[in-house]
Structure 1
């Protein structure tokens, strides 16, 4: 079996990123391990039920920017495009919970042939789709 296990997301601060992803988006903190250089290995996962045999799905490594070049990419890792896609099995539930948690939505929810979708921004301005695929999609 092959799968994308982790994707790095460059952030300004570990703790504020952990709070946003766990509290506002409902992800679970999988690992937060200090490293000898003062950085941390931080992994969060949405906990979607699509985990592998070891209990892991695709996760985000929250990597604190180390220099000016990396700080310049915080919030713009995909050039303003939607770069991350959070699938859900209950669009209304997750949209309402995220809205109540203060997540910034850039549009009203849409119901497309492929499913229900809305674009939102994470803590730093990266664009995401919250998407419940249509049953036949």
Structure 2
């Protein structure tokens, strides 16, 4: 068994697609139209194109419990998911120059460095670096 797809809830697929590709640097793997104006949009890391796909899931628009959960995580300041990076400091610098808002600046906890940013689509995302 292995993980091949990870879903992240987004309230606006177009806005999310732009942020995740143009700002974060993910690349589109699949983009297929679905009913109701939605799309099956998956992204992959340019560093691991055969790795897990990230699905931009419009769940909060169609399933109220998903929206409530997403809102609760944001209110609590908890990340929805995390992305591993080679250097949290370098990504923090790169992303802040692009206007990304961080709620947690690069910090260290034991053998890990982390930072948390707002993906503009309803989620906090944590960047993690193993030291």
Answer whether TM exceeds 0.5 for this pair.
yes
Q: Does 1:69 align with 2:64?
A: yes
- Cross-structure match for 1:27: 26
Query: How far is the alpha carbon of 1:74 from its aligned partner?
Result: 7.8
Query: How far is the alpha carbon of 1:28 from its aligned partner?
Result: 1.3
Structural mapping, 1:64-103, within 5 Å: 64-65=58-59, 66-67=61-62, 69=64, 72-73=67-68, 75-76=70-71, 78=73, 80=76, 81-103=78-100
Give the TM-score normalised by the residue count of structure 2. 0.80
* Structure 1: distance between partners of 2:72 and 2:4: 18
Where does structure 1 lack aligned partners over 5 or more consecutive residues? Answer: 50-54
Where does structure 2 lack aligned partners over 5 or more consecutive residues? Answer: none
Task: Give the direction of change, closer, same or farther, for the CA distance of 1:70–1:13 in structure 2 (3 Å limit).
Answer: farther
Aligned residues: 128
Match of residue 106, structure 1, among 103, 106, 113? 103
Q: Secondary structure at the match of 1:15?
A: helix
Give the TM-score normalised by the residue count of structure 1. 0.77
Q: Which has the higher helix share?
A: 2
Q: Does 1:59 align with 2:53?
A: yes
* CA root-mean-square deviation: 2.4
